[in-house]
Amino acid sequence: MFVRVLILVSNANPLPNSPTPLSLIHLSPPIMRQQHSKPWRPFTANCCSAEDQTIFGNFSRCRPSRSDFSKEVAQLPSFRRLSFSDLSRSSSLRINDDLAQSFGSDLYDFQLSELRRVTQNFSVNFLLGEGGFGTVHKGYVDENLRQGLKAQAVAVKLLDIEGLQGHREWLAEVIFLGQLRHPHLVKLIGYCCEDDERLLVYEFMPRGSLENHLFKRLSISLPWSTRLKIAIGAAKGLAFLHGAEKPVIYRDLKTSNVLLDSDFTAKLSDFGLAKMGPEGSETHVTTRVMGTYGYAAPEYVSTGQLTTKCDIYSFGVVLLELLTGRRAVDKSRPKSEQNLIDWAKPYLSSTRRLRYVMDPRLSGQYSVKGAKEIAHLALQCISLSPKDRPRMPAIIETLESLQFLKDMAVTCGHWPASQKSSRNGVFAKAKNDGKVESIRKSSPAAAANQK
């Protein structure tokens, strides 16, 4: 596995007073803006939700500021030239020529009129979601649009460009995602650079996000086997990033960034916070602390030192969400239950106690041994010591070994058959003497104390 180093050839002279160019592209991809503070509104959700805003220290935005972005991106003379180009027609043509030479047939260069046509002029009926970066619309392309392009549904992101900075964000995303290809990463199909318009075209993920399936009330509960499949897919996506020739730290793994195709194959999306990993003798990358509260590794939050083990921590949180059906942080719950790790951790090391934090929507249709192994794996991933967290290949091996277990909790006595959920969130549990007592679903401690 490898990530190609992209070199944009340019004969242009450097701009006056511009940053000193570097010879290699150590590129942090574009940092999406929240200029309008517009919350993400998922529809069929091909993109991530931002209900859980990033808040670390005194920072209350999900993406670095424009000045921070300027420092991190634009390290090639040619990239610098393109990123500082005026947003004119001639500039757009030059950018398209350079990108076409660099990527060839790997990415398609679309015209704005073509993307208007495939989305019915960005119809509200085709709207998938919107946020501070702009809107995302569903579209349909066919082989007649471009030679070699197969007929398929796509997701078209229309970036809200404000001056040169938005243009540079778009350019960075094209360069970064144009280098990454893997079955468990959402594929960038092409881009559009026309006058002052900047768009990105991705493969469409018909099942939306993992977040919607786990936490939306109207969604059908994911079966145990599907949850395991999703976990394996997300793990393989991370393993590819970490195992690349130049390791990539994803930095923003969460259920809203895990998208699902028609057969529930998981693919990682939204690389807005991704960073190139440490090289040579370096052990970490020191960077401004950004991410999503509840998923970020504690050592990164406290020191700003970023490693691939920070992604492992986030993966452990996602495993807990798959087990429990609860969000990493849920302010609507009682204070003692708002943080998923704090709430669930005391119950993860005991098979007897684990059932009290399992997602009730599973109704006991899960493997007892599988749940125990995943709980143990999650505990390792969220260890406070990064050295104690497993690597992605070991995580994948463990998860794949659990796929065919048949010891369902409902048939093994680990999920009382008389357990029923009611509207007020109360479980009715039959006691030995025939009496019935109420145990609140939101309090596993209460259930455990009855034993």
- Are 258 and 294 contacting, i.e. CB atoms less than 8 angstroms apart? no
Query: What would the two tokens of residue 96 be?
Result: 């398209």
Give the model's pLDDT for residue 75: 41
Q: Which of 348, 306, 326, 322 is nearest to 232 (CA)?
A: 322
From the number of C-beta atoms within 10 Å of its C-beta (0-12, 13-18, 19+), residue 293 rates as: middle
Between CA 228 and CA 323 the distance in angstroms is 10
182-195 pLDDT, tens per residue? 999 999 999 998 88
Helix, strand, or coil (residue 426): strand
State the Cα–Cα distance between residues 414 and 433, nearest whole angstrom: 19
| pLDDT of the residue at 220 | 87
Output the pTM of the full model. Answer: 0.72
Domains (ranges, CATH) in the chain?
1-204 (3.30.200.20), 210-404 (1.10.510.10), 416-451 (no CATH)
Q: Flag residues of the chain having pLDDT under 50.
A: 1-80, 83-84, 87-88, 90, 163, 165, 418-451
The encoded tokens of residue 114 equal: 């073509």
Q: What digits encode the pLDDT tens for the residues 63-97?
A: 333 333 333 333 434 444 554 455 445 467 777 77
In whole angstroms, what is the distance from residue 443 CA to residue 106 CA? 51
Q: Enumerate the active-site residues.
A: 252
β-strands 426-430, 134-141: how paired?
unpaired
Q: Is 157 one of the annotated binding-site residues?
A: yes
Determine the Cα–Cα distance for residues 369 and 408; give it in Å rounded to an integer: 9
